Structure 1
Amino acid sequence: MDLTALSDFNLVATHGGFGRASRVSGQPKASLSRHVRALEESLGVRLIERGGRALRLTPEGAVLHARTVDPFSEIAQAAEELKAGIGRPRGVLRVSAPLLFAHVAMGRLGAAFCAAQPDVRLDVTAEDRLVDLVGDGYDVVVRFNPRSDDTLVGRRFLSDRLVLVAPPNLQRPSTNEGTPELPAVVRAGRTDVALWTVVDATGQVHTYHPRPVLCFSTPLLARDAVLAGAGAAILPRSAVAVEIASGHLVEWGVVQAPAIECWVLHASRRLVSPKVSVFVDFLCAYFAEHSE
């Protein structure tokens, strides 16, 4: 198989036509057409339906494009990185991160990373949707408790816990003689709120009956309401660590539930570029002191 012809076929298929592929690559349309026809002849199948206004791949062409476009993209990326200097992190690094993590950590983390790697420019999108890393054009994604996925690999950089926090002026009710009621900031959309059971620093178990006074859709809004004295809330420790350390919030106990695992992931099928490797290493080192 002529790899040049295969490369030109993928170029035409990716850009939706000979004209667009010609403008992007600078190659004449006649050369692209000749190469694709030669590939069809060598394989003995038609890859592109000709004659219509819009390019349409045959079933055989669609299969060939799907199976070969990613490897060719990886080769092109590797070639660009070699031209730029072997092992040198550089270029734009696109990152998708959950809203909570992005708002709590990415500002400071991003500034520190760019100071350490001035040739890499971070492009961070804060979003809670489950993105398609390859299809949406991201280099890495940050996810909480990710599901097993053979197309992604990565490393866990943080284990987080849910904690019960309250403003310092909220008197902590005794749980020795029952389950006391507690003014609570809860998640929006919850019609019924279960009892809150936590374990304090001495190992004693406490159970409270939350009485919702405010409902919010994000942990950061709930945190701000607790800071303003609205009541207590159960929140990820990472979202309130600064406030607990400064004394603006008090931690009353840890929820006995599995830890929230935070992972940084990248595509397993891609060659790992220097900019991805250095970001993953930096992120893990940055949060090493918070890991459990």
Structure 2
Amino acid sequence: MDLLALADFTLVARHGGFGRAARASGRPKATLSRRVAELEASLDIRLIERGGRAMKLTEEGRALFERTGALLTELDETVGAISSGGQKPRGRLRISAPLLFSQTVMGKLAAAFALRYPEVRLDVITDDRAVDMVEEGYDLVIRVNPDPDDSLVGRIFLRDQLVVVASPGLGRPAPDAIVPAVVRSTDETSFWEVTTLTGRSRIAIDPVLRLSSLMMVRDAVRAGVGAACLPLSLASHDIAADRLVHWADLDAPPVALWTLYPSRRLLSARVSAFLDHLKDAFPTGTPAELAAYLEG
């Protein structure tokens, strides 16, 4: 197989078209088209559907890109590392992170990483959906309680728990009371299953305010609109300062933040460096440690 033709195909697939690949690489569009056609002829399969305004990979083309794209990237990084005399992190690192983590942590975390590794160009995109790492060109994703994925490996770097809190003026609810509540826009529940020192119980709620961000939910609860279910790390300082009262723990599985990356034996120096950076920032990964980081 012609590795140069394979590299040109990967370049076109990564950039989503011959024109974009030509502009990004400075290579002639006609040359890239010819090289991909030669690769298709040598493999006797069509890799790219041509025609119309948008390029589309065939099923075989997508499978080839998924397998070879990461390997060619690693090969480039290895050659660069050898030529420079070591595995020094450099190049672009593209990360997808959830909204709340990005709002509360990622600015400070990314700045420290950029100062530590000035040759890495960090690109963080906030997104709560399950992105496709290969199709969308991510090197690493951070997710909360992700679904299992055979194509990815990962590790938990932070744990949190959900607690029910309210402003001191609201007062703890009677057993049969319906409590005014501030909830996420996607939350359709009418009660919270909770655990207290006296055991498990249920708090019936009336959602009087729906907001799309937990930061907004916290601010609304501080203002006394109603009770809310928040991560302990986000509420603990307000609880300690008596701005919020901890009513109960939500009876639910713990919140786990994962880093996920493609399942392959060798990680790039950039990804390894960021994983180590997370470990340095959160050595124990507890809610208290995260809360301290938010206030630091």
Is the structural similarity TM-score above 0.5? Answer: yes
Aligned partner of 1:182 in structure 2 is 179
Look up the SS of the partner of 1:170 in the other structure: coil
Match of 2:190 among 163, 170, 193: 193
1:226 aligns with 2:211: no
Q: Give the counterpart letter for 1:237 in structure 2.
A: L
Q: Which one is further off, 180-189 or 5-14?
A: 5-14
Look up the SS of the partner of 2:134 in the other structure: coil
Aligned partner of 1:136 in structure 2 is 136
Aligned partner of 2:25 in structure 1 is 24
Q: Could you state the TM-score of these two structures normalised by the residue count of structure 1?
A: 0.77
State how far apart, in whole Å, the 1-side matches of 2:161 and 2:219 are.
Answer: 19
1:135 CA displacement: 1.7
In the alignment, is the contact (CA less than 8 A) between 1:163 and 1:234 conserved in 2?
yes
Greater gyration radius = 1
Q: Give the counterpart letter for 2:185 in structure 1.
A: A
State how far apart, in whole Å, the 1-side matches of 2:205 and 2:56 are.
Answer: 59
Q: Which one is further off, 251-260 or 181-190?
A: 181-190
1:170 CA displacement: 2.5
Which residues of 2 match residues 90-105 of structure 1 at below 5 A? Answer: 90-105=90-105
Structure 1 271/249 Cα, relative in aligned 2: closer, same or farther at 3 Å? same
CA RMSD, Structure 1 to Structure 2 (Å): 3.9
Which residues of 2 match residues 190-269 of structure 1 at below 5 A? Answer: 193-194=190-191, 196-200=192-196, 202-269=197-264
State how far apart, in whole Å, the 2-side matches of 1:6 and 1:204 are.
Answer: 62
In the alignment, is the contact (CA less than 8 A) between 2:181 and 2:225 conserved in 1?
yes
State how far apart, in whole Å, the 2-side matches of 1:230 and 1:60 are.
Answer: 52
Aligned partner of 1:167 in structure 2 is 167
In the alignment, is the contact (CA less than 8 A) between 1:40 and 1:47 conserved in 2?
yes
Deviations 1:172-223 (A, max 9, x none): 24x5xx32332221233556512x34223x4544543223322223222211
Aligned partner of 2:86 in structure 1 is 86
State how far apart, in whole Å, the 1-side matches of 2:211 and 2:31 are.
Answer: 60
Q: Which one is further off, 142-151 or 52-61?
A: 52-61
In the alignment, is the contact (CA less than 8 A) between 2:47 and 2:58 conserved in 1?
no
1:155 CA displacement: 1.0
Structure 1 185/137 Cα, relative in aligned 2: closer, same or farther at 3 Å? same
Q: Structure 2: where are the runs of 5+ without partners?
A: 288-296
Q: Which one is further off, 143-152 or 59-68?
A: 59-68
Q: Which one is further off, 254-263 or 215-224?
A: 215-224
1:271 CA displacement: 3.6
